[in-house]
Amino acid sequence: MGLVVALHLFSVIFWLGSLLMITRWLAMVPDEVGIAKERFIVASERLFKVGGNIGAAAALATGILLVLLEPRVMTHGWMIMKLLLVGVLLLYHARLYRRIVALADEPASASRKEFMMMHGVVSLVLLAILLLVAMRPF
């Protein structure tokens, strides 16, 4: 059980760290010109495919395994809330992918405000999940 928890935490850090890094890079795209703008977009796409997708898949797989190892956890309200917040993160994951694809076609559509807001939302959802897991309020 301890090994699975450690792998789950590592996967979550890998996944959300990638999303946070990508949103930070993409927030800088509007300020760049030429090849630098393209490099931020290409680097974001590569990190998304490796860190984002693999981290998300591993986090989901280990999370499911943890629930299978201890199914009683699904009777707790904090766990249901955590899963809803994970769903929000998955929606942001998909939205970020669509934006990266769109930026590859039209880099001028990048908005610093949009990506900083995504960065903030991902950070706040992560904090909420950590508080739920640590405090188990209900």
Which is nearest to 63 in space by CA: 129, 120, 122, 137? 129
pLDDT band at 127 (very low <50, low <70, confident <90, very high): very high
pLDDT score, position 43: 96
pLDDT at 33: 85
Residue with tokens 């739920």: 132
CA-wise closest residue to 40 among 110, 95, 133, 113:
110
pTM over 0.85: yes
CB 100 within 8 A of CB 45: yes
